[in-house]
Structure 1
Amino acid sequence: MKIKKLIKHDAENYRNIRLEALDNNPDFFGTMYHEEAIMTIDTFREKIPVDKNNFILGCYKDKDLIGIVAFHQESRMKLRHKAYIRSMYVQPKYRKKGIGKLLLNELIERAKAIKEIEILLLDVVTNNLPAKQLYLSFGFQIYGIEKMAYKLNHQYFDMESMSLQIKSLFLSR
């Protein structure tokens, strides 16, 4: 297994796994499959960030992209100490094999290397127990619940907001 930062050249692989994620787990993502399936490969290419403070990590088994996770640092000055983890997905046949841990660990290590970042934030659908357990195992803590965050086929899904402090907070008064 190899973890690497996706580049524009990876757009087709990224599109394929992203659409697979939306198709396989529609209740875990804020976007629907049909919303992204109509997007061109160029649109997906543009979604792949090229700077160190925003990136998508991919886990490859040989030449196959089998897992992804996105990272986004806030750009506004008063919020630059925060970054968001989004769109994590591992193909079903590779789940429970440590791929999610590899991706999350690599993301956290890269986040720690970015000077300003102190806190990582993410949202997880409450009933996505495997993902929630993974995040809790890394020390993420639940700090809020948004009731009825998603609605799919007349069913509501609650969202838990989680945070992980990765650097000491310095209080200056």
Structure 2
Amino acid sequence: MSIRILGYKDATQYKDLRLQAINDSPTSFCSSYEQEEIYTLQETEHNIRPQTDQFTLGAFDGKQLIGMVTFKRETNAKLNHKGRVMEMYVSPDMRNKGIGRAMLEELLRLLKESEGLEQLYLSVESTNIQVLELCKSLEFNQYATEKRAIKIDGNYYDELWMVKNL
């Protein structure tokens, strides 16, 4: 397995994995399959292009993209000491192999080089115990629960908000 920052050449695999993620784990993503499938390849290429304040890491098994996690730093001058982990996902057939941990550890390693970045935030859907335990093991601490944060087909799901001081 290898982990690296995704670029525009990864757009097709990224889009396929993102659609799989939303379909497989709808409570873990704010977007819907219907919203995402209409994005063109050019829009996806633009969205995953690394920027100063945002990038997506991809985990690969050979040449196959099997996991992803996105980081986005706040750009407002009063908030840019903070960043957020977004859209973490590992393909179901590749879970329980340490890929999620490896991606987060690589993200944390890269963020140590980010001048002025002090806090890293994320949210986990409350029934996603495996990811919640992973985050706790990496010293993320829960500071809030957002009740009824997500609504899908009339069902509500809570989000647990966590932070890690860097």
TM-score for both structures, normalised by structure 2: 0.98
SS in 2 for 1:93: helix
Q: Verify the 8 A CA contact 1:22 1:29 in the aligned structure 2.
A: yes
Q: Verify the 8 A CA contact 1:53 1:114 in the aligned structure 2.
A: no
Following superposition, which runs of at least 4 residues in structure 1 exceed 4 angstroms of deviation? none
Instruction: State yes or no: 1:92 paired with 2:95.
Output: no
1:69 corresponding residue in structure 2:
69
Shift of 1:112: 1.2
Which whole-Å CA distance do the structure 2 matches of 1:130 and 1:49 have between them?
Answer: 29
Shift of 1:39: 1.1
Q: Deviations over 1:41-79 (max 9, x none)?
A: 111111113224310000001000000000001111111
The code of the aligned residue for 1:148 comes to: R
The code of the aligned residue for 1:42 comes to: Q
Q: Verify the 8 A CA contact 2:53 2:75 in the aligned structure 1.
A: no
Q: Deviations over 1:92-131 (max 9, x none)?
A: 0111100001100000111111011010000111011111
The code of the aligned residue for 1:13 comes to: Q
User: 47-56 or 8-17: which moved more?
Assistant: 47-56
Please list, as runs of the form range in 1=range in 2, the aligned pairs for 1:1-173 lying within 5 A after superposition.
Answer: 1-166=1-166
SS in 1 for 2:132: helix
User: 23-32 or 58-67: which moved more?
Assistant: 23-32
Shift of 1:18: 0.4
Which whole-Å CA distance do the structure 2 matches of 1:116 and 1:54 have between them?
Answer: 15
Q: Which runs of 5+ in 2 are unaligned?
A: none
Which whole-Å CA distance do the structure 2 matches of 1:93 and 1:74 have between them?
Answer: 33
CA RMSD of aligned residues (A): 0.8
The code of the aligned residue for 1:41 comes to: L
Which whole-Å CA distance do the structure 2 matches of 1:50 and 1:71 have between them?
Answer: 10
Which whole-Å CA distance do the structure 1 matches of 2:135 and 2:49 have between them?
Answer: 24
SS in 1 for 2:123: strand
Q: Verify the 8 A CA contact 1:72 1:85 in the aligned structure 2.
A: yes
Count of aligned pairs between the two proteins: 166
Query: Aligned residues: percent identity?
Result: 36
